[in-house]
Amino acid sequence: MVQLSLEELYKEVILDHYRAPRNKGRLDPHDVALERNNPLCGDEIELFLKFDGDTLQGIGFEGKGCSISQASTSMMTEKVKGLNAKDARALAESIKRMMAGEEEGDVETLEDLVSLKGVVKYPVRIKCALLGWNTLLEGLDEAGHTPAP
């Protein structure tokens, strides 16, 4: 896949989600609510998760901050909604490895999330891009969907 320039990344991916975030808003009722921030930038999100057995049946978020943090969280909610906890965790871990430069990012499984890789060139912004994903992982832990030993 051709690496997006910063301008393409913003214009084709980030701004779409930033302007029209998916699953934005408080989710009630929920099983887990978690508030996390990125102290460096002041990005904030509050994530709401609702499970049906193992399935992440509902997800919502509130937040403010830079476009990368908010757009990445929006993309995250869109992708994990309806997944079972194990697959949601696997996806989040895969995104984290991609952002750490440890794996390429598989277009088949990650689809448009691969575009987030454009942020890797801007190391200080990686935390922004991962805020939602890290919060999701903590939310899964809190809901008792801990990783298999």
Partner 1 sequence: MSLDVEAIRKDFPILETEAHGKPLVYLDSASTSQKPRQVIDRMVRFYETENANVHRGIYELGEKATRAYEGSRETAARFIGARSSRSIVFTKGTTEAINLVRFTWARANVKEGDEVVVTEMEHHSNLIPWQLLIAETGATLRVLPIDNDEHKLRMDLLPEVINDKTKLVCVGLMSNVLGTINPIRELADAVHAVGGRIMVDAAQAAPHLQFDVNELDADFLAFSSHKMCGPTGAGVLYGREDLLEEMPPFHGGGEMIREVWTDHATWADVPHKFEAGTPNVAQVVGMAAAMDYLDGLGRDAIREHEIEMTTYALERLRGIDAIIYGPRKAEERGGVVSFGLEGVHPHDMATIVDQEGVCIRAGHHCAQPLMRCLGVPATARASFYIYNTREDIDAMIDALEKSKGWFS
Report 129-148 residues binding partner 1 (CB under 8 A): none
Which residue lies nearer to partner 1 by CB, 79 or 125? 125
Q: Does 97 bind partner 1 (CB under 8 A)?
A: no
Q: Does 102 bind partner 1 (CB under 8 A)?
A: no
Token reading at 85: 């906890």
Chosen residue from 21, 23, 32, 43 binding partner 1 by CB under 8 A: 43
Answer whether 60's CB lies under 8 Å from 23's CB: yes
Q: Does 82 bind partner 1 (CB under 8 A)?
A: no
Q: Does 26 bind partner 1 (CB under 8 A)?
A: no
- Taking the CA atoms of residue 44, residue 56, residue 84 and residue 69 in that order, the dihedral angle to the nearest 10 degrees is -20
Answer whether 98's CB lies under 8 Å from 115's CB: no
Peptide bond into 29 cis (omega under 30): yes
Q: Does 13 bind partner 1 (CB under 8 A)?
A: no
The angle subtended at Cα 17 by Cα 13 and Cα 20, nearest 5°, is 140
The angle subtended at Cα 123 by Cα 10 and Cα 130, nearest 5°, is 70
Region binding partner 1 by CB under 8 A among candidate stretches 10-18, 45-53, 90-98, 141-149: 10-18
Q: Does 15 bind partner 1 (CB under 8 A)?
A: yes
Rounded to a whole number of angstroms, the distance between the first and last alpha carbons of the chain is: 35
Q: Does 122 bind partner 1 (CB under 8 A)?
A: yes
How many chain residues are in contact with partner 1, going by CB under 8 A? 18
For residue 29, the minimal CB distance to partner 1 (Å) is 29
Q: Can you give the binding site for partner 1, defined by CB under 8 A?
A: 6-7, 10-11, 15, 40-44, 64-68, 122, 125, 128
